[in-house]
Chain A
């Protein structure tokens, strides 16, 4: 589990939790960044500016602040075990 701003670009991940100031975290969740949602970080503004985050049907910009932390986990492709003939 890592904060959203630590995710590499274009790697799909799932939001696990939104912590922080209740008022701010409500606003984050209202925009659709709720636990369980899949998203990717598409771009970072220069000099540590906001992140461009792609959700299912839309794109939102989020500025990382100490007031709110969006924790995500990378979506790992399920590894298919090779069928071993016995």
Chain B
């Protein structure tokens, strides 16, 4: 990687938060973005190539920061890379600093610090058009003279002006190193004084942004703002939850058709089984996440680029603060009620690594849609369909209780982790309200494509490998089938004699205190591919057809299981982290297997304890 990057000039894209850095990066690199694949980083900086017309340059998009005295892990990454002390990412040859014409002061403070690194620089100024439209002035020529490096105005959102930046990139060898502007080791106050004086020399702010003021008056209103927030979040959740549903079923039936097609081509046997169940099944279990990931990234980008996300975080910050979280944690947690995979990916909107980590650790406890088939099956099987006080359905009340138990336990876990793991890092809730603007469809498109590629390459491969491993466990050793048996009987026969069944029988004593027999243990184990697999696995174990409806299986289970056992399994599913895909994406987003490993251990402990207590209480009744 190091050598591959070094063959072309490497230019770091650096800027304060909310200056339009990512939009400019998207406009410059387009679809030529790739995953960094540097080891040991908590935030993977995006890389992209730009064809300047006079050769190729590589851009690296580093996390935003205000000064070089980094207080968060994300900012430390930027500082380490720029100063050449990062263990795996090479020091860039030049810095492209992105600056905002609307608010040059904080950008100039950052510039004064970057200038001391003695790396060739160029400054790209965004939102010059917005300032001019309000009657303001931005004098980039004077700024060029004052800063001693090239300054180019750019309209990042529409990609206009990106052409000028591209031309500048082609002449990267002639970029200048900034002169000494301030004495080294200047204090922040001295830097602000210098930046403030320079700001009034080169710019006039123009009229206040009335549109932003007017929108804020509604959006941040205690009553209307809260209502708007609830509506936006409901629409957000509904889009991920049901918007992705038809696409996901289409993918599933597409994979099903391919499996049937392969079955006609390859004679029955282990190769056919590998191709259909192992390979196609594995690919299917990766691809099925794509609709949710695409929709979620689209919505998140729109919320973030429009400027609403900061306002939403402001409104909900107090409530999340009760659990040691910050306002932005709300979105990943909400998204996780659909699926923890996109939920965890959306945690990238939290700019601070520790807050992000605590949020990610809580997401698997939100009741995802994969738990729903398991809940429905078991509640239907063991809970009587009676009504409490004649109005409240007992089955419905149990289902609601499971959702509440999951969400509350997740929030409490976040609070505990915040108090223990990240005790010393006091990260206050501080952020800017960027002006509202229309998001750029092009920029959002590029982000969606880049995130999807990222998912397929990093988490997708892990999920595929685990799916194939599970196939091996369930299909070996190959059971001899008696002639004339139905496919369902054959599947039952195969599963009963597989390695997975051996594993279930071996591990059963561990689960015995919870009331699980080896069949339930096997069902629970098979859920590690995806929770809803439990339904299919139970169907195979009890030779009950679940193709058309769960009805036959529900009848079998209600005969087989006592109320205590049923409740015990439900309690286990509320807490257990039974999802390889979630663990793969957690590893991707936290930078190591340590965190998914810890989450697995904690949640197994919670699930086991809850299940044991439930079983003991329910049995003694």
Binding site for B on A (CB under 8 A): 21, 23-24, 26-32, 34-36, 43, 45-50, 52, 56-63, 65, 67-68
Complex Cα distance, B315 from A36, in Å, reads 29
* Binary per-residue interface labels of chain B (286-325) against chain A in the complex, 1 for a CB within 8 Å, 0 otherwise: 0000000000000000000000001001110111010000
| Of B71, B188, B222, B432, the contact of A46 (CB 8 Å cutoff) | B222
Say if the beta carbon of B373 comes within 8 Å of chain A: no
Say if the beta carbon of B167 comes within 8 Å of chain A: no
- Assess the A57–B105 pair: CB atoms within 8 A: yes
Q: How far is the CB of B569 from chain A (nearest CB, A)?
A: 39
- Assess the B192–A32 pair: CB atoms within 8 A: yes
| Of A35, A48, A52, A67, the contact of B220 (CB 8 Å cutoff) | A52
Q: With A49-B314, A57-B102 known to touch, is A26 a contact of B188 (CB < 8 Å)?
A: yes
- Assess the A50–B318 pair: CB atoms within 8 A: yes
| Of B67, B103, B313, B318, the contact of A30 (CB 8 Å cutoff) | B67
- Assess the B429–A43 pair: CB atoms within 8 A: no
Say if the beta carbon of B226 comes within 8 Å of chain A: yes
Q: With A32-B105, A46-B226, A57-B105 known to touch, is A27 a contact of B430 (CB < 8 Å)?
A: yes
Binding site for A on B (CB under 8 A): 66-67, 69, 71, 102-103, 105-106, 109, 188-189, 192, 205, 216, 220, 222, 226, 310, 313-315, 317-319, 321, 327, 425-433
Complex Cα distance, B326 from A63, in Å, reads 10
Complex Cα distance, B102 from A35, in Å, reads 22
CB neighbours (8 Å) of B69 from chain A are: 26
Q: With A27-B71, A34-B188 known to touch, is A49 a contact of B430 (CB < 8 Å)?
A: no
- Assess the B430–A62 pair: CB atoms within 8 A: yes
- Assess the A45–B315 pair: CB atoms within 8 A: yes
Q: How far is the CB of B538 from chain A (nearest CB, A)?
A: 46
- Assess the A60–B431 pair: CB atoms within 8 A: yes
Complex Cα distance, B429 from A49, in Å, reads 10
CB neighbours (8 Å) of A48 from chain B are: 318
Q: How far is the CB of A54 from chain B (nearest CB, A)?
A: 9
Q: With A46-B318, A49-B318, A57-B102 known to touch, is A63 a contact of B220 (CB < 8 Å)?
A: no
- Assess the A62–B315 pair: CB atoms within 8 A: no
CB neighbours (8 Å) of B222 from chain A are: 46
- Assess the A62–B429 pair: CB atoms within 8 A: yes
- Assess the A45–B314 pair: CB atoms within 8 A: yes
Query: Whose C-beta in chain B lies nearest to the C-beta of A65?
Result: B428
Query: Whose C-beta in chain B lies nearest to the C-beta of A67?
Result: B426
CB neighbours (8 Å) of A32 from chain B are: 105-106, 192
Complex Cα distance, B310 from A26, in Å, reads 21
Query: Whose C-beta in chain A lies nearest to the C-beta of B217?
Result: A43
Q: How far is the CB of A20 from chain B (nearest CB, A)?
A: 9
CB neighbours (8 Å) of A30 from chain B are: 66-67, 106, 109, 188
Complex Cα distance, B130 from A49, in Å, reads 31
Complex Cα distance, B72 from A23, in Å, reads 10
- Assess the A35–B189 pair: CB atoms within 8 A: yes
- Assess the A67–B103 pair: CB atoms within 8 A: no
- Assess the B314–A50 pair: CB atoms within 8 A: yes
| Of A21, A29, A43, A59, the contact of B188 (CB 8 Å cutoff) | A29
Q: How far is the CB of A58 from chain B (nearest CB, A)?
A: 5
Q: With A35-B189, A47-B318, A57-B205 known to touch, is A27 a contact of B428 (CB < 8 Å)?
A: yes
Complex Cα distance, B319 from A63, in Å, reads 12
| Of A35, A46, A47, A61, the contact of B430 (CB 8 Å cutoff) | A61
- Assess the A28–B428 pair: CB atoms within 8 A: yes
Complex Cα distance, B328 from A50, in Å, reads 13
Q: How far is the CB of A50 from chain B (nearest CB, A)?
A: 5
Complex Cα distance, B254 from A72, in Å, reads 64
Sample of 4 more A-B contacts, CB < 8 Å, known A57-B205, A61-B431, A63-B430: A30-B66, A30-B67, A32-B192, A46-B318
